[in-house]
Chains A and B, each alone.
Chain A
Amino acid sequence: MKVSYFPGCTLRTKAKDLDFYARKCAEILGVELCEIENWQCCGAAFVSAKDEVASKLSSVRALAAARDAEQPLVTVCSACHNVIKQTNHAMQTDAEFAAKANLYMSQDKEPTEAYNGETTVYHYLELLRDVVGFDKLKEAVKNPLTGKKIAAYYGCMLLRPGKVLGFDDPENPTIIENFIRALGAEPVIYSYRNECCGSYAVLEDAEAAKKKSNKVSENAADNGAEMIVTACPLCKYNLEKSGSSIPVVYFTELLATALGVKEDTDAE
């Protein structure tokens, strides 16, 4: 199966592992990630204001490119997932916003047909759950992560707003825990798994961000986790910068270890 793929700015730079192993593992699972040509950064944070249009066009262009290729659009970074899904929802439900966005897009050098939210967007984890299937994933595992106690850290961008993203139950998610089980490891449930790491506030108030990140990593460790798994480069940065006592790894690294394309399970 072929899908359109939006890597995003951070997977090209600081989070190369997230990208590299996502591609490798997809191949093994029978999915080809076809990178969208000339994609532009999604902006990393959705601006909810209805009168903010221009800054959302990069997402609309990626969505339209996937529509033209007749493929679903897949993202690996949780922020890209959040921004692109929320933009898609605005294109589907806010006619005035969609009209403005399409008017801008009609001025592009090579304009595409007007876009009205036709594309299905999957986060890579959703692709594993809904398209590949966790049972198939389990069968593909070569090196089960038996005995590892792993805490899933959802943060905000995968889950909220729940009604728009439709990713999982925002208060009691199960997708990453089931992913961890499929790889043969044991998920650790802890209450801070869907609370904020401090996000972009770290840039001007590192102490405030640290307070929030510490709560997350301490809560995971207190519940017996040996490592934390995330899909978000900014969550990883904040948890590590605030001195998490346990390693923080990308979910694609775990996946690659279990599928036998990467050697060690621990964070470098």
Chain B
Amino acid sequence: MLNKTERQKEQILRSSGVNPLKCMRCGKCSGTCPSYDEMEYHPHQFVYMVETGDIETLMKSDSIYKCLSCFACVDRCPRGVEPAKLVEAVRLMAIRQKDANHLTPNDIPALLDDETPQQLLMSAMRKYSK
């Protein structure tokens, strides 16, 4: 039987399709990440923390909501690791828990201005809630 950490890791790897063992820890993904300053854990740290099973720590960190899905780390990684897909898988594991949505429709009205495009609300809801 797998323990909880092993189960989480298996789910993250299956959902993301990423193989963290391909990473050579060059840090290029984090160097190019536009959210580097806002993230507590950076893209290359997601890769090795998933590999070592330190997934709960990532799930509790705000870093999973700071990723902008810009895919810069995906296109610029010299090893084709695709760190953003791990960030996504960890975020989903967090928000799929009961009552764990990061953003709910009730939060929206206070965040609007006259120019807010629908695209912004749709993408935020898609990324921050299940």
Indicate which residue in A159, A201, A233 contacts B119 across the interface (CB closer than 8 Å): A233
Asked if A140 is an interface residue, CB under 8 A from chain B, the answer is no
Cross-chain contact B116 with A14 (CB below 8 angstroms): yes
Cross-chain contact B71 with A161 (CB below 8 angstroms): yes
Known: A9-B119, A237-B116. A200 touches B34 (CB 8 A): no
- Chain A 31-59: CB-based contact to B (< 8 A → 1; otherwise 0): 00000000001011111111110010000
Asked if B54 is an interface residue, CB under 8 A from chain A, the answer is no
Asked if B89 is an interface residue, CB under 8 A from chain A, the answer is yes
Asked if A162 is an interface residue, CB under 8 A from chain B, the answer is yes
Task: Find chain A residues with CB under 8 A from B34 CB.
Answer: 195-196, 198, 212
Q: How many inter-chain contacts with C-beta < 8 Å in the A-B complex?
A: 132
Asked if A156 is an interface residue, CB under 8 A from chain B, the answer is yes
Residues 206-225 of A contacting B (Cβ, < 8 Å): 208, 211-212
Cross-chain contact B115 with A160 (CB below 8 angstroms): no
Instruction: Please indicate which of the listed interface residues B38, B65, B69 has the most CB atoms of chain A within 10 Å of its own CB.
Output: B69
Asked if A132 is an interface residue, CB under 8 A from chain B, the answer is no
Asked if A10 is an interface residue, CB under 8 A from chain B, the answer is yes
Indicate which residue in A48, A171, A234, A240 contacts B123 across the interface (CB closer than 8 Å): A234
Asked if B122 is an interface residue, CB under 8 A from chain A, the answer is yes
Cross-chain contact B119 with A50 (CB below 8 angstroms): no
Task: Find chain A residues with CB under 8 A from B17 CB.
Answer: 50
Say what secondary structure dominates the interface of chain B: helix
Say what secondary structure dominates the interface of chain A: loop
Asked if A77 is an interface residue, CB under 8 A from chain B, the answer is yes
Indicate which residue in A15, A44, A204 contacts B122 across the interface (CB closer than 8 Å): A44
Cross-chain contact A237 with B75 (CB below 8 angstroms): no
Residue of A with least CB distance to B68: A199
Q: How far is the CB of B17 from chain A (nearest CB, A)?
A: 6
Cross-chain contact A203 with B68 (CB below 8 angstroms): no
A243-B88 Cα distance, complex, nearest whole Å: 31
Task: Find chain A residues with CB under 8 A from B37 CB.
Answer: 208, 211
Task: Find chain B residues with CB under 8 A from A199 CB.
Answer: 68-70, 123
Asked if B117 is an interface residue, CB under 8 A from chain A, the answer is yes
Cross-chain contact B92 with A47 (CB below 8 angstroms): yes
Residues 173-231 of A contacting B (Cβ, < 8 Å): 195-196, 198-205, 208, 211-212
Cross-chain contact A195 with B89 (CB below 8 angstroms): no
Cross-chain contact B85 with A48 (CB below 8 angstroms): yes
Q: How far is the CB of A61 from chain B (nearest CB, A)?
A: 16
- Report, as a range, how many residues of chain A touch the other chain: 35 or more
Asked if A79 is an interface residue, CB under 8 A from chain B, the answer is yes
Q: How far is the CB of B20 from chain A (nearest CB, A)?
A: 15
Cross-chain contact B71 with A13 (CB below 8 angstroms): no
Asked if B16 is an interface residue, CB under 8 A from chain A, the answer is yes
Task: Find chain A residues with CB under 8 A from B82 CB.
Answer: 48
Asked if B9 is an interface residue, CB under 8 A from chain A, the answer is no
Task: Find chain A residues with CB under 8 A from B103 CB.
Answer: 203-204
- Residues on A lying within 8 angstroms of B by beta carbon are 8-10, 12-15, 41, 43-52, 55, 77, 79, 156, 159-162, 170-171, 195-196, 198-205, 208, 211-212, 232-234, 236-237, 240-241
The 10 A-B pairs at the shortest CB distance, nearest first, are namely A160-B71, A44-B122, A45-B123, A196-B70, A44-B123, A233-B117, A200-B124, A156-B70, A10-B119, A199-B68
Q: 7 other contacts beyond A159-B75, A203-B124, with CB at 8 A cut-off? A: A47-B92, A47-B127, A49-B16, A50-B15, A196-B34, A199-B70, A199-B123
